[in-house]
Structure 1
Amino acid sequence: MRELDGGRPSNVVEAYLEQLRQAELVAEAEDVAHGKRHLSVVTGDLETSDDVARVEQLTAVAWAGRDGARMTASRGGSDYVTLVIEGPCAAQFVDELAALAEELSPGFWRISRSSSPF
């Protein structure tokens, strides 16, 4: 990002994008304060039945939940999925799901414990 003196963005578009990033961080912090945790997995476009099966396996485990944690929402696009997990053991469950995603990954998935996949 090009910057002016004082670290401010140098044009309107960059300033707007920075506002969006900040709003996203605030929203995620509010979710965390309310006990929600996120796992985002950038999978790339799902091109084969094997690709689809890997994502379905991850989401099936997430929907099944575990003691003290359950998935309450899932969102995504053609190349990513974000899971929203709630409950007193949400952070532990996200860690377990992240480990499963690592196992299922064909080697190029990007896995983050964040609501933002990119």
Structure 2
Amino acid sequence: MMLIVSRYGEVEGKEDYGSVIWDLEFNQVLKNADWEEKVRQSLEATITKYESRLKDIHVRVELTEVEEDVRNKFPNARQRVRVWVNGVMVRNDQQFNFNTHLYISPISQ
């Protein structure tokens, strides 16, 4: 999870550790599919480099608009990023599956 939520350059001595999510967070120019692909490539490259316990790594990213009522008052509009990481553990050839989501946007809370 740290790899996903870290910005490039945030971890001292590992300038390429992290993801491009935070650099693209406010980008309104990219289409969703392009945004997802850039983030997918970013995560796959970083996981491949820094997570030596995994092989055959595949990353899937999905960006969706979400509106939720907050305490029955005003809707809270933001974007949800869902991330799936699948691979094989080097040590025992067992499947590895991880998924998470996070909320982004100028008004994400």
- What's the TM-score once normalised by structure 2's chain length? 0.30
Higher relative contact order (CA 8 A, sep 6+): 1
Q: TM-score scaled by structure 1?
A: 0.28
| Higher gyration radius (CA) | 1
Higher-strand-fraction structure? 2
More helix by share: 1
